[in-house]
Copies of this chain bind each other. A is one copy, B any other.
Amino acid sequence: MAYFDAASALPLHPVAQQALLAAVEDGWADPARPHREGRRARLLLDAARETAADAVGCRPDELVFTSSGTAAAHRGVAGALAGRARAGRRLLVSAVEHSAVLHAAEAHRAAGGEVAEIPVTRTGRVPAEAVTAALGTGPGPAALVCVQSANHEVGTEQPVAEIAAACRAAGVPLLVDAAQSLPWGRVPGDWSLLAASAHKWGGPGGVGLLAVRKGTRFAPPAPVDERESGRVPGFENIPGIVAAAASLRAFRAAAQAEAARLRALVELVRRRVPELVPDVEVVGDPERRLPHLVTFSCLYVDGETLLHALDRAGFSVSSGSSCTSSTLTPSHVLRAMGVLSEGNVRVSLPPGTSRESVARFLDVLPGVVAEVRAQLTGPVATPAEAPAEAAAEVAEAGVAEAGVAELVIDARGKRCPIPVIELARAIGGVPVGGTVTVLADDVAARLDIPAWCDMRGQEYLGEEREFAYRVRRLD
């Protein structure tokens, strides 16, 4: 059994467990009360705030605790926008933000605000120049920019310091969703707001943090009360907060050494997976990335089935959109990057992951992928490796012949990866230079057919009309 979904949540750090038990004893009372039990709770809360602020690199009075990283992002975005209402209502978000930030942006749009997306490179990077360009468009100054410190799905680190400098130059606050990177180190640069989540560093669920640097205009969404500097209402989760702060400090103490060790394991996965499994694309920036996270996509595989097969084989990984198991629609992150989404697997290693368990994963993966592919494609290894058979199967696959060098495959009503599998089977049925048009109404095809062309050396001619994708055989 190996849990490789650290980017989603970590087990409680042993230090957090001790802190939780101690704080349950001493920190259960209302810290707003003047009696001894209240004062004791207040002391614990204050100490936790100092510890967390030190880890973030801000002043204790700039930091408040929220009930989750999501709540921190929601309150941060809403509060910063309300504080900047006089500067207008234009919000800029990178195209690869976590859904928490995107949901806050949607709420802003629904309330009449404007939201613009900052595009990313094929490795998922948000170049500072793209931020500068986005800041320069639009009628007035932007109200707020949101860029994560590192991507939660592909691990790409963002140039936050450069982006923060660009925002300062434009006089626009920058909110950094630091959920993935804060355990590993402070977020560099002169950002204005920062959100993070304790269960990413071995703290308990139910604790997030929001830092708002002095000088940043901030008007928290109503209603609020006197708690957390009037920024987060409701009785504080002090045991959780104390455990979160203690585990952040403990995680950080080991972070540098552990990062180096995990980076080597991730490097191994990045190198070996494409050697061991045919038709795989490793995604995300190869250098500027989180130490513990690697993501790859496998052609001709259904992500959900692959996850379940890996789970049965003893490996807990994640896939596609990082926030839900119910919607395995193509991740907005992979879509924004323009890379393959099908058969997407995110491996994120918890601290302490052994080389042996990674080696075991690499042993098991090829067979699991082959097994899942076989379920979808039949006994052939991978469809594109069997062009002779594919030609023979063209008719079965629902091909409508429209001329010698022109095939149309009707894959409407079929879910990805079936349209791509049928394309791969059919391409051998046209001569080099001929074309195949795939009719497919699963929106993932829009991403996966171009990605397939790229990986297989074929030419993607474009979406001829809606849901009709044209491919020229080059090879």
Pair B74/A233 contact, Cβ less than 8 Å: yes
In the assembled complex, how far is the CB of residue A181 from the closest CB belonging to chain B, in whole angstroms? 17
A321 to chain B, nearest CB (A): 10
- Copies of the protein in its oligomer: 2
Is A32 a contact of B324 with CB atoms below 8 Å?
Answer: yes
The proximity string for A residues 307-326 relative to B, scoring 1 for CB distances below 8 Å and 0 otherwise, is 11001000011100001111
The range of chain A's interface size is 35 or more
Distance, CA A446 to CA B205, complexed state (A): 47
Whether, in the assembled complex, A8 has its beta carbon less than 8 Å from a beta carbon of chain B, the answer is yes
Q: Does A360 contact B (CB under 8 A)?
A: no
Question: In the bound complex, do residue B225 and residue A99 qualify as a contact, i.e. CB atoms below 8 Å apart?
Answer: yes
* Given known contacts A34-B307, A70-B225, A311-B35, A206 and B237 CB-to-CB distance under 8 angstroms: yes
**Which residues in B have their C-beta under 8 angstroms from that of A68?**
67, 233-235, 237
Give min CB distance, A243 to chain B, whole Å.
Answer: 9
Q: Across the interface, which residues of B come within 8 angstroms of A205, CB to CB? A: 27-28, 235-240
Within 8 A of B (CB), among A197-217: 197, 199, 204-208
Convert A87-112 into 0s and 1s, putting 1 for each residue whose CB lies closer than 8 angstroms to a CB of B: 00000000000011001101100110
- In the bound complex, residues from chain B placing their C-beta under 8 Å from that of A237 are 67-68, 204-207, 237, 240
The answer to whether A37 has its CB under 8 Å from any CB of chain B is yes
Query: Closest residue of chain B to A314, judged by CB?
Result: B36
Q: Per-residue CB proximity of A29-46 to B under 8 Å, as 1/0? A: 110111111100000000
Residue of B nearest to A317 (CB): B35
- Does A20 sit within 8 A of B, measured CB to CB? yes
Residue of B nearest to A310 (CB): B35
Considering only CB atoms, which chain B residue lies closest to A307 in the complex?
B34
A30 to B155, CA, bound (A): 19
- A24 at the binding interface (Cβ < 8 Å): yes
Q: Which residues of B contact A204 (CB under 8 A)?
A: 24, 28, 237, 239-240
Q: Is the CB of B223 within 8 A of A107?
A: yes
Closest to A71 in B: B234
User: Is residue A404 contacting chain B, with contact meaning CB distance below 8 A?
Assistant: no
A311→B24 contact, CB < 8 A? no
User: With A and B bound together, what is the CA distance between A416 and B227 in angstroms?
Assistant: 26
- Would A325 and B235 count as touching, CB distance under 8 A? no
**Cα-based distance from A146 to B104 in the complex (angstroms):** 28
Q: Is the CB of B28 within 8 A of A11?
A: yes
Complex contacts, A225 vs chain B, CB 8 Å: 70, 99-100, 103, 323-324
Verify B325–A32 contact, CB threshold 8 A.
yes
A311 touches B71 (CB 8 A): no
Task: Decide if B223 touches A74 in the complex (CB within 8 Å).
Answer: yes
Give CA–CA (A12, B3) in the complex, Å: 31
Residues of B near A208 (CB, < 8 A) are: 234
Contacts A67-B67, A222-B110, A226-B326 hold; do A36 and B311 have CB atoms under 8 A apart? Answer: yes
Contacts of A70 on B, CB cut-off 8 Å? Answer: 225, 233-235
The residues in A between 14 and 61 inclusive whose CB is less than 8 angstroms from any CB of B are 17, 20-21, 24, 27-30, 32-38
Interface presence of A120 (CB below 8 A): no
- Residues of B near A32 (CB, < 8 A) are 323-326
Q: Is the C-beta of A69 less than 8 angstroms from some C-beta in chain B?
A: yes
In angstroms, Cα B33 to Cα A34, docked, is 43
A9 at the interface (CB under 8 A from B): yes
Q: What separation, in Å, do the CA atoms of A3 and B41 have in the docked complex?
A: 14
Q: CA of A207 to CA of B204 in the docked complex: distance in angstroms? A: 13
Complex Cα spacing A226 to B205, Å: 16
A99 CA to B11 CA in the complex, in Å? Answer: 36
Which residues of chain B come closer than 8 Å to A99, judged between CB atoms? 225
Q: Does A246 contact B (CB under 8 A)?
A: no
Other contacts beyond A11-B28, A100-B223, A103-B222: 13, CB < 8 A: A3-B29, A5-B29, A8-B29, A8-B33, A32-B324, A35-B318, A67-B67, A67-B206, A69-B234, A199-B235, A204-B239, A206-B206, A225-B324
A-B contact pairs, 23 of them (CB 8 A): A5-B37, A8-B30, A8-B33, A9-B235, A28-B205, A32-B324, A32-B325, A32-B326, A34-B307, A35-B311, A36-B311, A68-B234, A68-B235, A70-B235, A71-B234, A100-B223, A100-B233, A104-B223, A197-B235, A199-B235, A206-B207, A207-B237, A226-B324
Of all A-B residue pairs in the complex, the 8 with the closest CB atoms, nearest first, are A206-B237, A67-B67, A68-B234, A70-B234, A35-B316, A103-B223, A107-B222, A107-B223
